[in-house]
Structure 1
């Protein structure tokens, strides 16, 4: 990995000090930050997180944030959004918001505004991170070519980083909505359970925060509920409760079983994407869940066994470097890097 602070900056003399606005806009919350780039390094001048339900539109959120920043001259802005983008416009599936890059630029006067997929933003964040923000799950020699990223959180995101001449060109996807392919009898039963509920069963139904809770519900089907966990599910994020219980020596056994299925399905899906792209540049596991279950990913073999379990291509998959991204704000940093790159014509490289 390289870090942007050490990288070349062809336009550093022209842009002696540049302010960019970065955003990571999800279904429930929005992170915004003001970054200063100078001489090939960056600093965060101000950042804040907002609950989307408190605002009528994306512009309203950004207006409040900029008011806190005072008088600033923003050269460019990039907003990463957890939605599909069409011609600079995105609609959220679980939020009555429409984000339009041109309208934001005209309304807020923030210079050039770009909308990118949240996984594309996360990709741009990789060179912003120090070495200790990556945990290696499988050693391998990074070569020239593609890289891939799978991110498990509220949903399941996937991005292909097309490699060319030492640079990467991220391509957004909706791969998380492709079919879930079960491995083994238990996962076949899970597929049948999900099919009865949803009809089409995407891999996101399993490999996501809601998916982890669904796995737990499947395993508990026909069993007496655990009253303590039922109460905690009402008060806390169920996926976090399950993960924490699974990590305990004396935790509820079904939580450990649910997390094992989740991790196995995550490993299998990362391998599926790797087989379709041949990522000599590495496989990256990101999102809100993996860094919180890093002990299980690192110390147990469930993920790696599922990743390598692809028959005749098991040896090939065993040769690929696999990393977990530990920085939860990578998408926000990446949005800033993307905005600055639009001004400096600097491609993505790490």
Structure 2
């Protein structure tokens, strides 16, 4: 992949955005070296369109007039109209150019942005789970439960980090243990299948909790992810506590699968708000046990480090690194960049 020429780099000021199913976050970078201008988080449900949200919550509140925009969105990018997977917004780059005055709009996957963060953030923004090992400069995986479940790879070659986007959150997730076989029949299916995202995300926590209650023959009393998490961490509700144990076990299994797919000897990184909130549960034995239980390659898995990314705005930090020094990263822009 050719390195970007100076004339091909996005022009400052640059609006960068991390747009998920529930929240949207924006910064403006005025130049290569300056601190970003930060804006409060936006609830996607509060605005009918991303255009209206950017206008009201960003452009109307600053004298800066961004020339370029780099947006990381939770969903696959195909064509000129890009729907998000877990909210009603549709990103229309040509309309952003016509209506909001941008001359250059690049749209990438939200977990590409998380991968950019993993490639560029200092070590103090990663908290190790399990054995403390230095992550070598080898392939890595980043995944994280949030409104949905994002997954991306990160390959290092020719002194350049190449994020590899994907939709790994939608792979099948199946039962293994006797307890799994009691619980899984009660997991809500999508067209006959249980995908990882049906369990390993915010609503998935509730799905799993309800399935455990049904397997135990009791009525669920919790209905929102935060309550399941709080009671699980406090061990104040038996089904919520088991929900967290199974959640981190299944997350460990999936993380191990992705590590094998990418041969991610450089480590697996858990991103997103849920990973940070359940850090005490992740540090218990279940996550690493699920991660390492990959016969005939269990010995290999023991040497792959796992981390939680602790930066509060990791995706934006990754986008900022790319915006400032795009020559350090291999981002494919074909079909994902629109210019006036």
User: Alignment partner of 2:16: what SS?
Assistant: strand
What is the CA distance between 1:141 and its match in structure 2? Answer: 4.1
Does residue 207 of structure 2 align to residue 214 of structure 1? yes
Aligned equivalents of 2:191, 2:230: Cα separation in 1: 28
Does residue 192 of structure 2 align to residue 199 of structure 1? yes
User: Alignment partner of 1:48: what SS?
Assistant: coil
Distance 1:341 1:109, change over 3 A: farther
In structure 2, which of residues 29, 39, 58 is the aligned counterpart of residue 35 of structure 1?
29
Instruction: Spell out structure 1 runs of 4+ moving beyond 6 A.
Output: none
Could you say which residue in structure 2 is the equivalent of 1:336? 320
Distance 1:89 1:346, change over 3 A: farther
In structure 1, which of residues 274, 280, 284 is the aligned counterpart of residue 265 of structure 2?
280
Distance 1:75 1:124, change over 3 A: farther
Could you say which residue in structure 2 is the equivalent of 1:242? 228
Does residue 57 of structure 2 align to residue 79 of structure 1? no
Aligned equivalents of 1:123, 1:88: Cα separation in 2: 24
Could you say which residue in structure 2 is the equivalent of 1:22? 16
Could you say which residue in structure 2 is the equivalent of 1:321? 305
User: Alignment partner of 2:152: what SS?
Assistant: strand
Could you say which residue in structure 1 is the equivalent of 2:338? none
What is the CA distance between 1:57 and its match in structure 2? Answer: 1.6
Could you say which residue in structure 2 is the equivalent of 1:4? none
> What count of residue pairs does the alignment treat as equivalent?
321
Q: Structure 2: 5+ residue runs without aligned partners?
A: 332-340
What is the CA distance between 1:196 and its match in structure 2? Answer: 6.4
In structure 2, which of residues 328, 331, 334 is the aligned counterpart of residue 346 of structure 1?
328
Could you say which residue in structure 1 is the equivalent of 2:48? 56
Which whole-Å deviations, capped at 9, do the CAs of 1:154-183 have from their partners, x for residues lacking one? 111110112212322111111111111322
User: Alignment partner of 2:278: what SS?
Assistant: helix
Aligned equivalents of 2:190, 2:24: Cα separation in 1: 31
In structure 1, which of residues 166, 170, 177 is the aligned counterpart of residue 170 of structure 2?
177
What is the CA distance between 1:66 and its match in structure 2? Answer: 1.0
Q: TM-score, normalised by structure 2?
A: 0.86
In structure 2, which of residues 210, 219, 242 is the aligned counterpart of residue 257 of structure 1?
242
User: Alignment partner of 2:48: what SS?
Assistant: coil
Aligned equivalents of 2:126, 2:137: Cα separation in 1: 20
Aligned equivalents of 2:132, 2:81: Cα separation in 1: 40
What is the CA distance between 1:278 and its match in structure 2? Answer: 0.4
What is the CA distance between 1:128 and its match in structure 2? Answer: 5.2
Q: Structure 1: 5+ residue runs without aligned partners?
A: 1-9
What is the CA distance between 1:87 and its match in structure 2? Answer: 3.8
Which whole-Å deviations, capped at 9, do the CAs of 1:28-72 have from their partners, x for residues lacking one? 33211212444xx441223122222332321111112112112x2
What is the CA distance between 1:26 and its match in structure 2? Answer: 1.8
Distance 1:144 1:333, change over 3 A: closer
Aligned equivalents of 2:237, 2:135: Cα separation in 1: 39
Which whole-Å deviations, capped at 9, do the CAs of 1:200-246 have from their partners, x for residues lacking one? 111111111111111111111153436xx44xx3xxxx222111112
Does residue 84 of structure 2 align to residue 92 of structure 1? yes
Distance 1:204 1:136, change over 3 A: same
Aligned equivalents of 1:321, 1:189: Cα separation in 2: 31
Aligned equivalents of 1:305, 1:291: Cα separation in 2: 19
What is the CA distance between 1:318 and its match in structure 2? Answer: 0.7
In structure 1, which of residues 134, 139, 147 is the aligned counterpart of residue 132 of structure 2?
139
Superposed CA RMSD in Å reads 2.5
Could you say which residue in structure 2 is the equivalent of 1:47? 39
Q: TM-score, normalised by structure 1?
A: 0.84
